[in-house]
């Protein structure tokens, strides 16, 4: 009888352990699913709050903060892009045959034309020059400088190419390696241009997309002069519970019409 009682007790204990294990597993999964759902909901709230902050700052052009009844909030900062040096297009590559404008005067009145030494930077040391469009990663640049006055503007064009083989056939100015850094980012090539009473510059990458930087200095970094405002960067942080989302909106001034640039080598699509 005592042996039977021991066996029954052992079976009861095994059943209890099994039931407890199953119960803990179900409870753990339920808690995990609940937490995942809550985190997903908080993430959506934070993202929506950040979007609302971006929209508010785009509307009024200044930093804003706000709170919502669903316990989410947002805070934005607005930074003007100007100064001695900065990346163009917020560091995002400019598409091949597209265009990017640098304002050398006050937008949109063309007041206070800029004079000084402008250095453009582009490309990376591992870029490859290839006759095949699918494998070529080395960009040439068409640079159009408009200077003078709105009544009597002057257009000066430069065509530069770091690919020696290509420059023999397209008659572009060959650019040897020897770039520099802009805001800590390294570039393989540069072209320095002396500007007098500049209104704006248009840069068109040819043969390949490329990241671009600009400095209001010569190649050695001397003779620097701050460039005018190019637009704003709006950074919004949305918060909900312990979750945050950050959104960045970069707003350059609108592109100038292509009709202002007759006889371009390549016009934007």
Q: Do 161 and 48 have their domain in common?
A: no
- How much of the chain exceeds pLDDT 70, in percent? 87
Chain mean pLDDT for the chain: 88
CATH number of the CATH domain containing 183: 2.60.120
Domain assignment of residue 265, yes or no:
no
Q: Is residue 48's pLDDT more than 80?
A: yes
pLDDT value at residue 254: 87
- Total domains in the chain come to 2
* Mean pLDDT, rounded, for 75-87: 95
Q: Do 106 and 122 have their domain in common?
A: yes
Q: Do 77 and 89 have their domain in common?
A: no
Q: Do 67 and 177 have their domain in common?
A: no
Q: Is residue 247's pLDDT more than 90?
A: yes
- Residues contacting residue 105 through CB under 8 Å, at least 6 positions apart: 111, 112, 113, 114, 198, 199, 200, 228
Q: Do 53 and 158 have their domain in common?
A: no
Q: Do 159 and 61 have their domain in common?
A: no
Q: Do 90 and 78 have their domain in common?
A: no
pLDDT value at residue 218: 87
Domain assignment of residue 263, yes or no:
no
Q: Which residue has the higher pLDDT, 104 or 2?
A: 104
pLDDT value at residue 269: 42
Q: Do 101 and 195 have their domain in common?
A: yes
Q: Which residue has the higher pLDDT, 38 or 250?
A: 250
pLDDT per position as a tens digit, 1-45: 555 555 666 677 777 777 777 766 766 676 665 566 677 888 899
Q: Which of 188, 205, 225 is the last residue of a domain?
A: 225
* Mean pLDDT, rounded, for 202-226: 93
Q: Do 6 and 136 have their domain in common?
A: no
Binned at pLDDT 50, 70 and 90, residue 62 comes out as: very high
DSSP codes joined into one string, 186-249? EESEEEEEEEEEEEEEEEEEESS-B-EEEESS-TTS-S--PEEEEEEEEEEEEEETTEEEEEEE
Q: Do 181 and 236 have their domain in common?
A: no
E-state strands within 56-188 = 65-67, 72-83, 85-87, 100-103, 114-122, 140-148, 153-161, 173-174, 180-182, 185-187
pLDDT value at residue 267: 45
* Mean pLDDT, rounded, for 204-218: 96
Q: Do 51 and 77 have their domain in common?
A: yes
Q: Do 139 and 238 have their domain in common?
A: no
Expressed as residue numbers, the domain containing 41 is 1-84+230-254
Q: Which residue has the higher pLDDT, 31 or 236?
A: 236
pLDDT value at residue 162: 98
């Amino acid at each position: 009888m005592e042996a039977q009682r021991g066996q029954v007790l052992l079976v009861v204990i095994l059943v209890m352990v099994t039931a407890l294990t199953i119960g803990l597993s179900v409870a753990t999964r339920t808690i995990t699913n609940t937490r995942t759902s809550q985190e997903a909901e908080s993430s959506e709230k934070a993202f929506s709050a950040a979007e609302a902050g971006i929209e508010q700052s785009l509307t009024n052009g200044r930093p804003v903060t706000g709170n919502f009844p669903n316990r989410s909030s947002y805070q934005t900062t607005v930074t003007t892009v100007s100064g001695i040096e900065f990346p163009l297009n917020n560091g995002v590559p400019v598409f091949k045959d597209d265009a990017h404008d640098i304002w050398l005067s006050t937008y949109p009145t063309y007041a206070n034309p800029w004079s000084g030494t402008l250095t453009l930077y582009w490309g990376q040391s591992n870029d490859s020059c290839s006759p095949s469009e699918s494998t070529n990663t080395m960009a040439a640049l068409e640079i159009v400088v408009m200077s003078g006055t709105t009544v009597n503007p002057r257009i000066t064009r430069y065509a530069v190419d770091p690919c020696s083989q290509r420059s023999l056939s397209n008659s572009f100015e060959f650019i040897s390696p020897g770039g520099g850094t802009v805001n800590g980012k390294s570039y393989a090539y540069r072209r320095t241009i002396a500007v007098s009473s500049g209104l704006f510059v248009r840069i068109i990458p040819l043969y390949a997309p490329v990241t671009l930087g600009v400095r209001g200095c010569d190649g050695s970094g001397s003779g620097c002069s701050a460039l005018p405002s190019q637009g704003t960067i709006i950074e919004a942080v949305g918060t909900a519970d312990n979750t945050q989302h950050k959104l960045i909106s970069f707003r350059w001034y609108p592109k100038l019409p292509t009709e202002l640039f007759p006889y371009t080598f390549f016009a934007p699509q």
